[in-house]
Amino acid sequence: MASGSADQRVQQCQSETLQCPICMKPIEDPRLCAQCSKLFCYSCIHQWLQKANDESGNPACPYCRCMCTIDSFVKILEGSPLYPCKPVADGINATDQLGTDADARKDPDAILHRLEKLLLETQGFFNETNKRVTQELKKQKTLLEQTKNNHIKTVNLMSQQELREIHQQFHAKKSEIEAWSEILTNKLDKHQFDIASVEATLQQSSPKELVVKQTEIENACGKVTEGLKSVTLNIKPHSFKSNLIPEPTSWKFTVHKYSSIRRTNEIQYSDLVSDDIGSVWRLEVHPCGYEDAKNTSLSIFLQLYNGIEGHYHYSVELLGPARNHIYEAEEYFELRKGWGQNHFIDLKSLQESFLVDDGFEIKFAVRALNLVDKYGKLEKRADLLTTEVEHLKKIAYPDCLDEVVTIRNVIDAAKSAACLHSDILCDDIGGQWRLQIYPGGNGECRGQFISIFLEFCSGIPNKYEFTVALLHQNVKKIVKKTLEYTIQPSLPFGWKTFLGREELINNGYIQKDSLSIRLTIKPPNATQKLHYLRQHLEQTREPAGGNKHPARKESVVSYDSKPTTSQEPFESRIRKASISLYKNLFPKSSSTEQP
């Protein structure tokens, strides 16, 4: 049985013949990895690192995966204890070597030695992996801590800046109020002095003197009264501007002829208004109260008529000549459901303090709770707009044909360059179409590409946009091509080089000897579609003896069949109808290739 320390066993393993982990052959010109102590051939490790650098830019040891360069590998000189033993001499034949290996596998000491060696290598690899994983986890924790601290620092800076700006606004407004306080105090002091003078005159004058001074005292009192009426605090309510709280969107609504609508309690609705998110609101006013507030209070509710449901901060303010009455709150708004107060203000206070010319004015405002909430609502609004745009596109550019067709017997046709046809497809404005597919290519492209053409079988020739999509199970591999063209009967138009033949065969487009193709045809816009439909309906009402379109040419399935490429224009065709005369002129066909 083997004996000795672990170090002796390691030295003994190192003295044996070693194989390069890359080429699995005896090591030539050994190089030692300083991290894991593995030996490699110089040429092998040099090529490995160079390839890794070219592919990822991160050359690493193939054993321990530590980042390194060729210069970081230590060259082992011959004669060194670490230098690997030379392989068995050429004089020993293969049979002797196999016999030696077989004997070693039966020798218990050799087996123990080999397994101990394997265990040492495994333990070394485990230690290196454990060290690498520990270092990586520590690095990730440190990075996470740094990221958290940076975010907290940024938020604190923003909060401190926000607090400074709010304090600045507060002190500026406070200074304005203090200035007004001084101005109004001086005015009131002057009027108080005038009142004291009148009071002194009354006390110091006899009744006979008061008869004489009566007019003077009345004028003095009237003057003081007029002066007091002009004493007003001309300061607008202040709303703090914040970078973290969005500005509210506000509107005004005036209720007229209050006396008459109060008797009927007819509900008054404001116009529909939109906020900066795109939600639509309206104010609902019950002149004589709602439910338990009837005949006692004015009821006001704010309603989300259309838009994004969610929490909102809202305020309703009743504007008066001398003072305002305000209510504000935060609520979750659902569509067509209102929030507000049944007992907004009692009817007596309304009539005494807020009615002007038999009417009153209300200011109402809405905002998101904060910027994060606003961004979330804007994102939802963007999704709704995207859906709406897609719907509008469908209306503005209506498809008159959208079908998926299956083309069978593709493999044989690809080998023989035959032409395959789809079934006749009918659009919703009286046209008939079919696809011509050459899996093996058409004309000079035979054997190189799949060619696809669209044939207008019958109907009224007009300008169309048509899209042909070769379908695939992987959406990213779907091949789609689109053209806008004035296509004419019996003159197919499309692509000779739709897709490479090899790509068609090798990339999974052919499933069960079939191809799936989506054909979409649409007029340039909705107006044109209506025009085309009118043409079709008028054509169907023509007399039986009227001129007809030329009959469709039947395409023959053969190796030489291909779409016609005639360059001659269609003759003008005149059709008499009971209503008017139509004349259709058709332009030259430029090519059967995509422009």
Kindly report, residue by residue over 403-438, the tens digit of the pLDDT: 999 999 988 888 887 899 999 998 888 888 999 999
Residue 466 CB neighbour total at 10 angstroms: 20
Range of the domain at 408: 401-540
Residue 125 CB neighbour total at 10 angstroms: 14
Same domain assignment for residues 437 and 370: no
Cα separation, 535 vs 582, whole angstroms: 9
8 A C-beta contact, residue 386 and residue 278: no
8 A C-beta contact, residue 338 and residue 270: no
Same domain assignment for residues 494 and 367: no
8 A C-beta contact, residue 437 and residue 407: yes
* Measured CA angle at 587 (ends 498, 537), to 5 deg: 95
Domain assignment present for residue 386? The answer is no
Cα separation, 45 vs 74, whole angstroms: 12
Predicted local distance difference test score (pLDDT) of residue 388: 85
* Measured CA angle at 185 (ends 181, 190), to 5 deg: 155
**Can you give 188-203 as a three-state secondary structure string?**
HHHHHHHHHHHHHHHH
Distance spanning both ends of the chain, measured CA to CA: 85
Same domain assignment for residues 534 and 415: yes
Same domain assignment for residues 278 and 307: yes
Domain assignment present for residue 134? The answer is no
Same domain assignment for residues 445 and 330: no
Pairing of strands 297-306, 30-33: unpaired
Record the tokens describing residue 355, joined without a space: 């009615």
Nearest C-alpha neighbor of 491 from the set 514, 464, 461, 471: 461
Question: Reduced to 3 states, what is the DSSP secondary structure of residue 317?
Answer: strand
pLDDT digits (tens, 9 = 90+) for 477-491: 999 999 888 888 878
8 A C-beta contact, residue 565 and residue 589: yes
Q: Is 505 exposed, middle or buried (0-12, 13-18, 19+ CB in 10 A)?
A: middle
Q: How far does Cα 156 stand from its chain's mean position?
A: 30
Q: Which of 69, 84, 99 is the last residue of a domain?
A: 84
Domain assignment present for residue 450? The answer is yes
Domain assignment present for residue 269? The answer is yes
Same domain assignment for residues 290 and 352: yes
Q: Which of 362, 377, 392 is the last residue of a domain?
A: 377
Same domain assignment for residues 193 and 75: no
Same domain assignment for residues 271 and 219: no
Predicted local distance difference test score (pLDDT) of residue 480: 92
Dihedral sign from CA coordinates of 366, 370, 372, 373: negative
Q: What are the two backbone dihedrals, phi and then psi, of residue 359, each rounded to the nearest 5 degrees?
A: -160, 170
pLDDT digits (tens, 9 = 90+) for 503-514: 888 888 999 899
Residues in the chain predicted with pLDDT less than 50, given as ranges, are 1-16, 88-92, 94-95, 98, 544-595
Cα separation, 44 vs 29, whole angstroms: 10
Beta-carbon contacts of residue 360 (< 8 Å; ≥ 6 apart): 254, 255, 258, 318, 319, 320, 350, 354
Question: Reduced to 3 states, what is the DSSP secondary structure of residue 552?
Answer: coil
Total count of domains within the chain: 4
Same domain assignment for residues 315 and 344: yes
Predicted local distance difference test score (pLDDT) of residue 286: 93
Domain of 444, CATH number, reads 2.60.210.10
Predicted local distance difference test score (pLDDT) of residue 70: 86
Domain of 79, CATH number, reads 3.30.40.10
Q: What are the two backbone dihedrals, phi and then psi, of residue 117, each rounded to the nearest 5 degrees?
A: -60, -45
Domain assignment present for residue 180? The answer is no
Same domain assignment for residues 296 and 366: yes
Domain assignment present for residue 167? The answer is no
Record the tokens describing residue 99, joined without a space: 């016999």
Domain assignment present for residue 523? The answer is yes
Q: Which of 540, 562, 578 is the last residue of a domain?
A: 540
Predicted local distance difference test score (pLDDT) of residue 237: 67
Same domain assignment for residues 258 and 356: yes
Record the tokens describing residue 288, joined without a space: 């004589």
Q: Give the bridge partners for 405, in sequence order.
A: 517
Cα separation, 470 vs 479, whole angstroms: 5
Domain assignment present for residue 244? The answer is no
DSSP 67: B
pLDDT digits (tens, 9 = 90+) for 351-395: 888 999 999 999 999 999 888 888 889 999 899 888 888 877 766
Same domain assignment for residues 199 and 319: no
Nearest C-alpha neighbor of 365 from the set 270, 499, 500: 270
